[in-house]
Amino acid sequence: MTVTRPVTGLPAGAPAGPEVAPVHPPPRPVRGRHRVSASRLAGAARAVRFGLWGLVALCILAPCACFLVLSVSPRLFDQGPQWFTLTYLKTIFTGTTGVAVLNSLWVSASAAAMGIAIGLPIAWLANRTTMPGRRFVSIGMWLVLLLPSWLPGIGWERLVVKDGVLTRFGLGSTFVTHAIMGPFGVVLLMGLRCVPFAYLTITASLAGLGQEFEDAARVHGASRAGALRLVLPILAPAIWSALAIGFAESISTFGVAYTLAYQSHFSLATYQLYAAIGNFPASFPAAAAIGLVLVVSVALPLTMQARALRGRSYAVLSARTRQAVRRQLTTKGAILASGCVALFYVIALGAPAVGAVTGSLLTDFGASDHITFVNYSGVFHIPGVSGPIVRSLVYGCVTASVTVIAGFMVARLLSRRRTRATALLDFLLLATVALPGVVFAAGYIFAYNLPFLSRIGIDIYQTVWLLLIGYIASSLPTNARVLVGPVSQVQPSLHDAARAHGAGALRAWLSGVLPAVSRPVVMAWLFTFCGIFLELPISQLLYAPGSPPLSVAINLNIAGYHFGLGLAQAVMSVGIALALVCIVLTLYRLLAPKGWRRIGSTVRG
Amino acid sequence: MAERLVVEHVSKVYPGGNHALRGPTFTVDPGTFMVLLGPSGSGKTTLLRTIAGIERLTSGRLVIGDVVVADGRVHLPPERRDLAMVFQDYALWPHLSAQDNVAFALKRHRVGRHDARRHAMGMLDRVGLSHLADRFPVQLSGGEQQRVALARALVGDTGLLLCDEPLSNLDADLRERMRVEISSLVREAGATTIYITHDQLEAFALADQVGVLQDGVLVQLGTPEDIYATPATLFVARFTGLAGELEVTVVGEGKITGHVSVQPVGIDGARPIEARVGEGTGAGAGAAPDGPLLLAIRPTAVRLCAAESEAANLVGSVTDTAFRGRHYELVVDLAGGRRLTGVLSERRVPRGTPVGIELDAAGCILFAEPEPGPPGAAPEDAEPGRRGGAPAGGAPQANGAASATRGTERIQ
Amino acid sequence: MQLRRNRMVAAGPRSARSRGVRVALAGVTCGALVAAGVAASGPALAARKISSVPLIVYSAQGYDQAMVKAFQNATGILTELDTNSTGPLLAQIQASKDNPHWGLLWVDGQTAFAELDDEHMLVRGFEPKVDWNGLGKEVLPADGSFVPTGITLMAAVAYTSKVVKDPPTSWSTLLSSKWKGDIGMNTPTQSGPTYPFIAGMMNYLGGVTKGKQFFEKLKANGLIIHTTNGPTLAALASGQIKLALVQSSAAIGARKTDPNLRVKYLSPLTMLPSNIGIDSKVTKTEIAEAKQFAEFVLSKTGQTVMKAGDPTGDSLYYPVVEGVSARPELPSLSSIKVQHTDPYTWGPREASVNAWFVSNITK
CATH of the domain at B196: 3.40.50.300
Same domain, A391 and A256: no
Over residues B277-314, the pLDDT tens digits come to 876 555 444 445 556 788 999 999 999 988 888 888 89
Helices marked H in A10-164 — which ranges? Answer: 32-55, 62-68, 87-92, 95-128, 135-146, 150-160
Q: Is residue B407 a part of any domain in this protein? A: no
A interface test, pick of B48, B93, B102, B202 with most A CB neighbours within 10 Å:
B93
Q: List the CATH number of the domain containing A172.
A: 1.10.3720.10
Q: Which of B192, B216, B235 is the last residue of a domain?
A: B235
DSSP B251-299: SS-S---SEEEEEESS-TTPPPEEEEE-TTSSGGGTPPPSS-EEEEE-G
Q: Is residue B406 a part of any domain in this protein? A: no
Over residues B237-255, the pLDDT tens digits come to 988 989 998 888 888 765 6
> Chain B, 196-235: which have a CB under 8 Å from a chain A CB?
198-201
Using the Cβ of B193 and the Cβ atoms of chain A, whether some distance falls under 8 Å is answered with no
Q: Which of B194, B214, B235 is the last residue of a domain?
A: B235
Same domain, B138 and B62: yes
Q: List the CATH number of the domain containing C203.
A: 3.40.190.10
Q: Is residue A470 a part of any domain in this protein? A: yes
In this prediction, residue C42 carries a pLDDT of 41
Q: A158 to chain C: which residues are within 8 Å by CB? A: 238
Reference A557, options A378, A346, A330, A304; nearest CA is A378
Q: Which of B182, B215, B235 is the last residue of a domain?
A: B235
Neighbours, chain B (3 or more CB pairs < 8 A) = A, C
Statement: residue A29 has pLDDT above 80: no
In this prediction, residue A17 carries a pLDDT of 34
Statement: residue B364 has pLDDT above 60: yes
DSSP helix/strand/coil, C275? strand
In this prediction, residue B396 carries a pLDDT of 34
Same domain, B262 and B174: no
A280 vs C234: CB contact, 8 Å cut-off?
A: no
pLDDT band at residue A157 using 50, 70 and 90 as cut-offs? confident
The larger pLDDT score, comparing residue A305 to residue C281, is at C281
Neighbours, chain A (3 or more CB pairs < 8 A) = B, C
CA angle centred on C299, ends C298 and C302, rounded to 5°? 80
In this prediction, residue A522 carries a pLDDT of 84
Statement: residue B167 has pLDDT above 60: yes
Summary mean pLDDT of chain A: 76
In this prediction, residue C358 carries a pLDDT of 81
Alpha-carbon distance of B196 to B194, in angstroms, equals 7
Q: What is the DSSP letter of C239?
A: T
Using the Cβ of C46 and the Cβ atoms of chain A, whether some distance falls under 8 Å is answered with no
Using the Cβ of C234 and the Cβ atoms of chain A, whether some distance falls under 8 Å is answered with yes
Over residues C242-265, the pLDDT tens digits come to 999 999 998 998 887 788 899 999
Distance from CA of B3 to the nearest CA of A (A): 16
In this prediction, residue C33 carries a pLDDT of 47
Same domain, A233 and A363: yes
All residues at 6 or more sequence positions from B369 whose CB lies less than 8 Å from its CB, including other chains: A1, B291, B292, B293, B294
Q: Which residue of B has its CA nearest to C9?
A: B400
Same domain, A423 and A304: no
Instruction: Determine which of A183-197, A243-257, B226-240 has the lowest per-residue pLDDT on average.
Output: A243-257
Q: Do A226 and A243 meet the contact criterion of CB atoms below 8 Å apart?
A: no
Nearest CB to A21 within list B198, B374, B411: B411
Q: Is residue A536 a part of any domain in this protein? A: yes
Distance from CA of C3 to the nearest CA of B (A): 10
SS (H, E, C) B337-375: HCEEEEEEECCCCCCCCEEEEEECHHHEEEEECCCCCCC
Alpha-carbon distance of A129 to A109, in angstroms, equals 29
What does each C-alpha distance from A29 to A37, A497, A499 come to in angstroms? 10, 14, 12
CA angle centred on B371, ends B368 and B377, rounded to 5°? 135
In this prediction, residue B3 carries a pLDDT of 87
The larger pLDDT score, comparing residue A540 to residue B375, is at A540
Q: Is residue A340 a part of any domain in this protein? A: yes
Same domain, C141 and C283: yes
Using the Cβ of C165 and the Cβ atoms of chain B, whether some distance falls under 8 Å is answered with no
Q: B396 to chain C: which residues are within 8 Å by CB? A: 1
Over residues B45-94, the pLDDT tens digits come to 999 999 998 888 889 999 998 889 998 788 888 888 888 999 888 888 88
Task: Indicate if ipTM > 0.90.
Answer: no
Same domain, A182 and A261: yes
Using the Cβ of C80 and the Cβ atoms of chain A, whether some distance falls under 8 Å is answered with yes
Same domain, B25 and B171: yes
Same domain, B210 and B278: no
Distance from CA of C131 to the nearest CA of A (A): 30
Same domain, C87 and C128: yes
Distance from CA of C192 to the nearest CA of B (A): 57
A to C CB pairs, distance under 8 Å: 233
C8 vs B381: CB contact, 8 Å cut-off?
A: no
Alpha-carbon distance of C88 to B202, in angstroms, equals 77
What does each C-alpha distance from A565 to A153, A569, A570 come to in angstroms? 18, 6, 9
Q: How far is CA B335 from the centre of its chain?
A: 33
Percent of chain A, pLDDT > 90? 7
Find the helix or strand (DSSP H, E) in which B210 lies: strand B209-214
Same domain, C174 and C208: yes
How many structural domains is chain C composed of? Answer: 2
A277 vs C91: CB contact, 8 Å cut-off?
A: yes
Alpha-carbon distance of A282 to A438, in angstroms, equals 13
Statement: residue B401 has pLDDT above 50: no
pLDDT band at residue A490 using 50, 70 and 90 as cut-offs? low
DSSP helix/strand/coil, A233? helix
Same domain, A394 and A494: yes
pLDDT band at residue A363 using 50, 70 and 90 as cut-offs? low
How many structural domains is chain A composed of? Answer: 2
- Domain extent, residue A297, equals 105-311+327-367
Distance from CA of A161 to the nearest CA of C (A): 7
Q: Is residue C17 a part of any domain in this protein? A: no
C interface test, pick of A561, A563, A569, A596 with most C CB neighbours within 10 Å:
A561
Burial of A296 (0-12, 13-18, 19+ CB in 10 A): exposed
Q: B402 to chain C: which residues are within 8 Å by CB? A: none
Summary mean pLDDT of chain C: 83
Same domain, A445 and A344: no
Statement: residue B395 has pLDDT above 50: no
Distance from CA of A543 to the nearest CA of C (A): 8
A395 vs C310: CB contact, 8 Å cut-off?
A: no
Q: Residue range A180-192: average pLDDT?
A: 86
Q: Residue range A419-444: average pLDDT?
A: 81
Q: Residue range C255-278: average pLDDT?
A: 90
The larger pLDDT score, comparing residue B386 to residue B229, is at B229
Statement: residue C38 has pLDDT above 80: no
> Chain B, 25-54: which have a CB under 8 Å from a chain C CB?
none
Same domain, A345 and A467: no
CA dihedral angle for residue A131, residue A132, residue A133, residue A135, rounded to 10 degrees? 60
Percent of chain C, pLDDT > 90? 51
- Domain extent, residue B346, equals 242-368
Same domain, A472 and A521: yes
C227 vs A258: CB contact, 8 Å cut-off?
A: yes
Same domain, B53 and B80: yes
In this prediction, residue C275 carries a pLDDT of 94
Q: A394 to chain C: which residues are within 8 Å by CB? A: 33, 36-37, 40
Estimate the crossing angle of helix A299-309 against helix A284-297, to 10 degrees. 10
Same domain, C147 and C279: yes
The larger pLDDT score, comparing residue A509 to residue A351, is at A351
Q: C1 to chain B: which residues are within 8 Å by CB? A: 381, 395-396, 399
Q: Is residue A269 a part of any domain in this protein? A: yes
B93 vs A234: CB contact, 8 Å cut-off?
A: yes
Nearest CB to A317 within list B92, B171, B239: B92
Statement: residue A585 has pLDDT above 50: yes
Alpha-carbon distance of C272 to C149, in angstroms, equals 11
In this prediction, residue B285 carries a pLDDT of 40
In this prediction, residue A498 carries a pLDDT of 56
In this prediction, residue C214 carries a pLDDT of 95
Q: What is the DSSP letter of A222?
A: -
Long-range contacts of A309-314 (CB under 8 A, 24+ apart): A309/A236, A309/A237, A309/A240, A312/A236, A312/B95, A312/B136, A313/B94, A313/B95, A313/B136, A313/B137, A313/B138, A313/B139, A314/A234, A314/A236, A314/A237, A314/B94, A314/B95
Same domain, C279 and C316: yes
Q: C282 to chain A: which residues are within 8 Å by CB? A: none
Alpha-carbon distance of A270 to A276, in angstroms, equals 10
Q: List the CATH number of the domain containing B358.
A: 2.40.50.140
In this prediction, residue A236 carries a pLDDT of 83
B137 vs A323: CB contact, 8 Å cut-off?
A: no
Using the Cβ of B395 and the Cβ atoms of chain C, whether some distance falls under 8 Å is answered with yes
Summary mean pLDDT of chain B: 81
Q: Is residue A226 a part of any domain in this protein? A: yes
- Domain extent, residue C139, equals 51-151+273-331
The total of other beta-carbon atoms located within 10 Å of residue B372's CB is: 6
Same domain, A498 and A474: yes
